[in-house]
Structure 1
Amino acid sequence: MALIIIGLLVLITGAVIARNQSSFQRLGKFIKLAGIGLMLIGVLMASIVQIEAGQVGVKSLFGKVQNDVLKSGLHFINPMVVVTRLDIKTQNYTMSGVHDEGEKTGDDAIRVLTADGLEVTIDLTVLFRLTEADAPMLVKETGVNYVDKIVRPLTRTKIRDNSVYYDAVALYSTKRDEFQNRIFKSIENDFKNRGLFLEQLLVRNITLPQSVKATIEGKINAEQEAQKMQFVLQK
């Protein structure tokens, strides 16, 4: 588009020179031809779009998003059309308490309340991808910043909503897989309705409150001491 504008300016300049300066008519004609050439090259370049592998292109004309998508390859389009390229490969979004491990700098772990009123910290990774056929809907309704508008807030909300059904210790141990599957099912449909496909949800780490850790460690130590005593008595 920039080349078309430059060509138009060159064409106008050549026309002005040819009309006002009779001694420079030949130069003016040459400048006009150069301007026309630049405009033609600009139109040709604006009409050719290459979509890389793992991407789709969403077309919009004067702000109106078109429903068909451009798949990977070379395409000839209306030079006035704006193409937004979107990644359809698998993406991951990590929320972690470890510094610089997640997408956000600093502590980005999810703090939730369990059924027994304790605060538990959860590190999580979401694997997802954009649904190719729904790319125009996503651009129209959400825009290209769908990670911050959909993936992050929806995931954090669903984790908090579902954690209240589990005690802290059960969440940490016996109910961990059940909790992970429950979150996956609650998020999957919401992602689908917004043009995203949820591939996998990974609960990477669950951190219990220090008081609960101390209680568990004390219980384990007591059991170990009891086993030692029983072994001594058997001798």
Structure 2
Amino acid sequence: MEKLPKIAFPIIIAVIIGIILIAKSAVTIDSGEAGVLFETFGDGVVTDEPPMGEGFHIVAPWNKVFIYEVRQQELFEKMKVLSSNGLEIQIDASAWYEPVYDELGNLHQSLGQNYLQRVIQPAIRSAARSVVGRYTPEQLYSSKRDAIQDEIFAETKKILEKQYVQLNEVLVRDVTLPNTIKEAIERKLRQEQESLEYEFRLVTAAKEAEKVIIEAQGKADANKILSASLTDKILQDKGIEATVKLSESPNSKVIVIGSGDSGMPIILGNQ
């Protein structure tokens, strides 16, 4: 077996070192991610340039690249907070967030890769305690869920705007009250509904009674007007008209005019 030339060993070593350097210098950033460059012999974290985008990159082997997910992410939180009257309420909420892309270097420098635990969770918990503490359990259970959702979002967003994190939405998925409080609220709501139904029936009955009274009054007024308009002369004329019609009937045989007490005709017939 022939011996390798002496020059071959340095070449092999150089090739091995080159492979190692290339392996350490090559960085692949996947879709939905971005990289923050740390220059070991420079100024540290690069904050004055955009982060490294998706794809293959070559960096100096003595530098480092920190990978961040820049897509929208979800944080699910179960929080126990106090209502305005001191009762413990459990809130199940989700927060949709993402790092501010152009500020990724500042985010890495100030908070690091565990920024979720350092700033987002404390912010949403603080906002939830502040907002829920303004409402009673009855309000949280019935009509104020959308309101507290909007208020928690607004307060959390205000905190995170200074932390290089973008908050997209806060969703309150559930509000859980102690069973005794929940049952008392449901009982109260049922009673209020029954009371409203009873009041509606009373109002309906009163309107029906008023309608009957108005109709009766109208008929009475009509009769009064009619009675006032019926003079003796009008009655006599009506009687004459009726007598003429009866005289034309085939059943009429004898007609005696002017025999009644009031001077009205008296009709006599044999049938």
Settle same-fold status: TM greater than 0.5: yes
Structure 1 179/54 Cα, relative in aligned 2: closer, same or farther at 3 Å? same
Given the two structures, how large is their TM-score scaled by the length of structure 2?
0.65
Give the superposition deviation at 1:140. Answer: 0.8
> Does residue 190 of the first structure (1) align with residue 131 of the second (2)?
no
Partner of 1:202: 171
3-state SS of 2:91 partner? strand
Percent identity over paired residues: 26
Residues 183 and 169 of structure 1, relative CA distance in 2, 3 Å threshold: same
1:82-122 per-position Cα deviation (integer Å, ceiling 9, x unaligned): 00110000100112xxxxxxxxxxxxx21111112221110
CA distance in 1: counterparts of 2:193 and 2:102, whole angstroms: 58
What residue is the counterpart of 2:123 in the other structure? Answer: 154
When the two chains are superposed, the root-mean-square deviation of aligned CA atoms in Å is 2.5
Amino acid at match of 1:86: Y
**Structure with max Cα Rg:** 2
Q: 1:94 to 1:80 in 2, by over 3 A?
A: same
Correspondence for 1:51 among 15, 26, 29: 29
Rounded to whole Å, the distance in 1 between the matches of 2:147 and 2:175 is 14
SS at match of 1:110: strand
- 1:86-97 matched pairs, under 5 angstroms: 86-95=68-77
Q: Which runs of 5+ in 2 are unaligned?
A: 206-271
Matched residue, 2:262: none
Distance 2:192 2:137 in 1: 21
Give 1:25 deviation, angstroms: 8.2
Q: 1:204 to 1:150 in 2, by over 3 A?
A: same
CA shift for structure 1 position 66: 1.1
The one-letter code of the counterpart of 1:66 is V
Name 1:126's counterpart in structure 2: 95
1:1-235 equivalent positions in 2, closer than 5 A: 26=4, 28-62=6-40, 64-67=44-47, 68=49, 69-95=51-77, 109-222=78-191
Closer, same or farther in 2 for the Cα pair 1:224/1:164, shift >3 Å? closer
Task: Provide the secondary structure at the position in 2 that maps to 1:43.
Answer: helix
Aligned pair in 2 of structure 1 residues 148, 178: CA closer, same or farther (>3 Å)?
same
Partner amino acid, structure 2, of 1:126: A
Structure 1, unmatched stretches of 5+, are: 1-23, 96-108
Partner Cα separation in structure 2 for residue 183 and residue 110 of structure 1: 13
CA distance in 2, matches of 1:93, 1:210: 27
Q: Number of aligned pairs?
A: 196
Q: Distance in 2 between matches of 1:218 and 1:79?
A: 70
Moved more, 130-139 or 212-221: 212-221
TM-score, normalised to structure 1, is: 0.75
Displacement after TM superposition at 1:221 (Å): 4.4
Give deviations 1:149-170, integer Å, cap 9, x for gaps. Answer: 1111221111112211111111
- Secondary structure of 2:104's counterpart equals helix
The change in CA–CA distance for 1:192 and 1:221 in structure 2 (over 3 A counts) is closer
Match of 1:12 in 2: none
